[in-house]
Amino acid sequence: MTTNDILRRTRYAFDFRDSEMMELFESGGMKVTREQVKAWLLKDEYEGFKEATHKELATFLNGLINLKRGKREGPQPQPEKILTNNIVLRKFKIAMNWQDDDILETLMLGDMRFGRHELSALFRKPTHTHYRLCKDQLIRKLLIGMHIRYRPKPDVNKEL
């Protein structure tokens, strides 16, 4: 998945507005404009599309952690220059304060079956013999599950 896909799908899952996206970036340590946010959220075939860097996505995810868990005391973490899917998964786990069961449940909502041992391998150090690389499909299914789990549902009784 591209950095822009992750930004778009995360925004959709939590129904963030442009201003909220800008606040998340600022909370993560980067001041961005509404035009930058809009350019990152465009699909790549549209005019004005800009590819978000790994550092920009890491900043956004750090801001999401600050929003959901609160800022930690002391210096804020520096955004990674290179993000892997494993790091993205870890940042979602921290932001949502998930335990393994929560991640597995969210993946099941995204129609993906995954074992507890497979999941623990994703969080190991890359030098560990049982380390497993997180693939794009897992992040995609996680984001679909997050959409089902967290996106505000339209209120059907509102019109009555």
- DSSP letter assigned to residue 83: -
Provide the residue ranges of all domains of the chain, joining segments of one domain with +: 3-150
| Tens of pLDDT, residues 102-135 | 999 999 999 999 999 999 999 999 999 999 999 9
The pTM assigned to this predicted structure is 0.90
Question: pLDDT tens-digit profile of 63-117?
Answer: 999 999 988 888 888 999 999 999 999 999 999 999 999 999 999 999 999 999 9
Residue 60's pLDDT band (cuts 50, 70, 90) = very high
Pairwise CA distance, residues 92 & 55, whole Å:
16
Contact, 40 vs 11, CB < 8 A?
A: no
